[in-house]
Chains A and B, each alone.
Chain A
Amino acid sequence: MRELSRVIFARLGMALLIAALITGGTLYACLKARRFYRSSVTFLVKEPRPQNPTAQQVSTDRSLEVFIKTQHELIKSETVLARTLALLEAPDSPAARNWRSAREAWEKTDAPENWTALQRALGELDQEVERRKEDPATASEFREAIRRFRKRVKVETPGGETVALSEVFTVTVTRPEPPEQARLAAQLLAWNYVDRYREVQAQLTRGAADFVRQRRDALKKERLQPAEDALRQFVEKDLESPYDLVILEQLGKAGTEAGRQIIVRKFQEEMITNDAELAEARQLKQQLLEQLPPALWDGGPRRDDSGDPTVPEIARLDETRLPDTDPILTDIVTIIPEDTLKNNVVVNKLKSKEVALIVELNRLKVEYRVDYRSVRDKQTEIAQTRRQILKELIGEARALDIRIATLAARQGEIGSRLEQEQERLNKITPLLVRYQQLQNEVSMAREEYRKVSADLASALNLQEQEAGAITIRVIDQAKLPDVKRPAFPKTVLYTLVAAGVGLLLAVAYAFLADYFDHTLRSIQQVERHLGVPVIGSISKYRRGLLR
């Protein structure tokens, strides 16, 4: 212990000088150095409440960490720093003035038009930055300024720069004196960062929606419309009538051969029906005519050249040619076919009347003689009824004739139509493949278009969500730093540290000097190095030296 003290005290003067020089030098340097001040802005990351179940939740630790790191990069990005620096260094340039007024307007009301104006101002600012960067006179200086500025911007979250489990982070800016500069820089940086964040966010989401929209438009222009045009052209030019389209549809639905069958069968069925009706009509006519008294033909042919029964002339029933007393009218009871009775109401009534009259007549015949007037009257009435019946029947036969003719004609018509139809089918069938291709193309394009439209809708939806997804709010505005407490130099701290270092160096000096000093200073040294006893020592300074 004495040895150690001796080492130090032996060179106390020099040691103290060293310590004092270092301490004093540091103090002097601190007093003379350029002062730097620090100002900071605190941000709060605000996430939307996940009210919408489809909204993505970003509040996991991991994604928040990524988010904060991203903000860190964004704040220190060239764009943000360069803008801020341009505003700081040339606050009176037209771009800076424009920006300031736009920013103030935006700060007051965040209307979309204000945002557009601010973006325009930012664009001008970027041009100003570009100009500075490219002008050889200022380029290197400006770049250097950005580099220095970046070094003096710090982004911190509570618990250190790397820990990001907080929704709060602070941006601190250090600037050379005066202190207002620090506050201004922090304020401008905060604004520029928030605006930049918004810009980037908008660009990102707009990009996705734009991409999908472009795809949709391209799809419409390049696929859907050409396909539809081709189909329309096909219908207009290659098909003769809209009916062809129906046939094609039918063919397409049922398959080519089955489709053909369906169409042909329709005609065949029609024809069969027609034939049946015709046969029925003929039979009825035959029955009807067979019941008529042959005298009515009056010796004329009962059948015509083709073998069809002829209808007696109706004039034969005129009273002049057929008096009421004719046996045809008095004796013959015409049997009327059921079908005719069913279809012809008049015949039916007349028949009933005839029956009633006959019953009446028979009653009268029992009571009276044959030539009794009432009997004769009845007989006349019966004859007249029968004449009417016959007239009706002939009329009926005539009508059947017409019907038969019509049906026959129709039969021919159906046959020719079937032929036409088959001809058309033969013509159209080859078109079917092409029609189906076109149809297919159109429907596929439509399907795709529908899908992309859905994508666009969801992208737009997402854009909406993202735009309001994470908002960044300033909690603490930049404050004016205390003039007396600069961030650099911290005079008291530095001086204390320097004093400590100075003392250490002084001690180190003392020991080193002692180590390299081979002169003999103490009894111990002599005895250690020489092995000779010290038999006496004479002090340099003694009290009463010269008395």
Chain B
Amino acid sequence: MNGENDEDLALEAVDTGTAAGVAVAARAESAVEQLWGSIFLSPERTAPKSITVTAAESREGATQVATALALTGSSAEHGLRIALVDFNVRRPMIARIFGIRPSPGVAEVITKGTPIDSALVPGPNQRLNILPAGGAADASPPLLQSRQAGELITRLSADHDHLIIDAPAVNRSAIAQALAGYTDGVLIVTKAGVTRRESVAEAKKRIEYAQGKVIGVVLNQRQFPIPGFLYRRL
């Protein structure tokens, strides 16, 4: 894909109400760069191979963050092979964002045994591979917990430098909880001023219960109410 497509993506994202996230993703702005650095370039610990990007509640911008991270990692600057997996089977978004076919995807790979390679779709650049959610009608948590999910993650991890999984909200679905165990780290995206702290704490508890590791919280749509000139003086 080229720059024009990026532009289109952004515009479409505005229409669907996810403007901020997409704009961030498309532009690979410094905020995402920083986020990338915080996750994967930390000198204190080894970089996680695979991460789950989720949220406490739905519509918090986890998909956008995941997308932005995937685009950043696969950009020419970083030059890494990234796999972006959409486990958001109930409300698949990634296919729409990238304008690719929605299936076959995760659901087909796990339940029907569709080969992963045939389900993978190349992203806007060569280094990015996208696995859409697929026909999710009959996808259910027991299936996702199954061995196939683990295999899927192992497979994709082997083929790519990093695996980024877009998971549904922790408090809405058990999928994220299940995935937390298979991935190296979990990123909780929180929409500033919307998500209640109790609900985030609950999500964190669930993830930890499932042996997952919470890397950190991403504050999405954070506002800076203090005017800049004043903020600098305080």
Q: B192 interface residue, CB < 8 Å from A? A: yes
| A443, chain B: closest CB distance, angstroms | 107
| B44, chain A: closest CB distance, angstroms | 12
Bound-complex Cα distance A6 to B24 (A): 24
Residues of A within 8 A of B61 (CB): 538
Q: Which parts of A514-547 form the interface with B (CB within 8 Å)? A: 518-523, 525-526, 529-530, 532-542, 544-546
Residues of B within 8 A of A523 (CB): 219
Given A518-B198, A525-B197, A532-B188, A539 and B224 contact (CB-CB distance below 8 Å) = yes
Residue picked from A10, A518, A540, most chain B C-beta under 10 Å:
A540
A4, closest chain B residue (CB): B234
Bound-complex Cα distance A482 to B47 (A): 82
Bound-complex Cα distance A534 to B217 (A): 5
Q: Is the CB of A538 within 8 A of B21?
A: yes
Given A519-B192, A532-B216, A535-B215, A540 and B197 contact (CB-CB distance below 8 Å) = no
Q: Is the CB of B19 within 8 A of A545?
A: yes
B223's partner among A1, A10, A525, A533 (CB-CB below 8 A) is A10
Bound-complex Cα distance A523 to B31 (A): 14
Q: Is the CB of B196 within 8 A of A532?
A: no
Residues of A within 8 A of B230 (CB): 5
Q: B139 interface residue, CB < 8 Å from A? A: no
A10, closest chain B residue (CB): B225
Residues of A within 8 A of B198 (CB): 518
Residues of B within 8 A of A1 (CB): 234
Q: A12 interface residue, CB < 8 Å from B? A: yes
Residue picked from A1, A2, A539, A541, most chain B C-beta under 10 Å:
A539
Choose the segment among B34-42, B82-90, B102-110, B160-168 that binds chain A (4+ C-beta atoms closer than 8 Å): B34-42
Q: A9 interface residue, CB < 8 Å from B? A: yes
Bound-complex Cα distance A119 to B150 (A): 113
Q: B201 interface residue, CB < 8 Å from A? A: yes
Residues of A within 8 A of B220 (CB): 537-538
Residues of B within 8 A of A518 (CB): 196-198
Q: Is the CB of B223 within 8 A of A545?
A: no
B221, closest chain A residue (CB): A540
B234's partner among A5, A529, A536, A542 (CB-CB below 8 A) is A5
| B197, chain A: closest CB distance, angstroms | 4
Residue picked from B192, B193, B196, B230, most chain A C-beta under 10 Å:
B192
Bound-complex Cα distance A536 to B201 (A): 18
Residues of A within 8 A of B19 (CB): 545-546
Q: B140 interface residue, CB < 8 Å from A? A: no
A9, closest chain B residue (CB): B225
Q: Is the CB of A530 within 8 A of B197?
A: yes
Residues of A within 8 A of B223 (CB): 10, 521, 539-541
| B66, chain A: closest CB distance, angstroms | 13
Q: B137 interface residue, CB < 8 Å from A? A: no
Bound-complex Cα distance A1 to B195 (A): 25
B200's partner among A530, A533, A545 (CB-CB below 8 A) is A530
Q: B50 interface residue, CB < 8 Å from A? A: no
Q: B3 interface residue, CB < 8 Å from A? A: no
Q: B194 interface residue, CB < 8 Å from A? A: yes
Q: Which parts of A288-341 form the interface with B (CB within 8 Å)? A: none
Q: Is the CB of A534 within 8 A of B20?
A: no
Residues of B within 8 A of A (CB): 10-11, 14, 19-21, 23-24, 27, 29, 31-32, 34-35, 38-39, 61, 65, 187-188, 190, 192-198, 200-201, 204, 214-227, 230-231, 234
Q: What are 28 residue pairs bridging A and B, where the CB atoms are less than 8 Å apart in the complex?
A: A2-B226, A2-B231, A5-B230, A9-B226, A10-B225, A519-B196, A520-B195, A526-B197, A526-B200, A526-B217, A529-B201, A530-B204, A532-B188, A533-B217, A535-B39, A536-B38, A536-B219, A537-B218, A537-B222, A538-B32, A538-B61, A538-B220, A539-B221, A539-B223, A540-B20, A540-B222, A542-B29, A545-B23
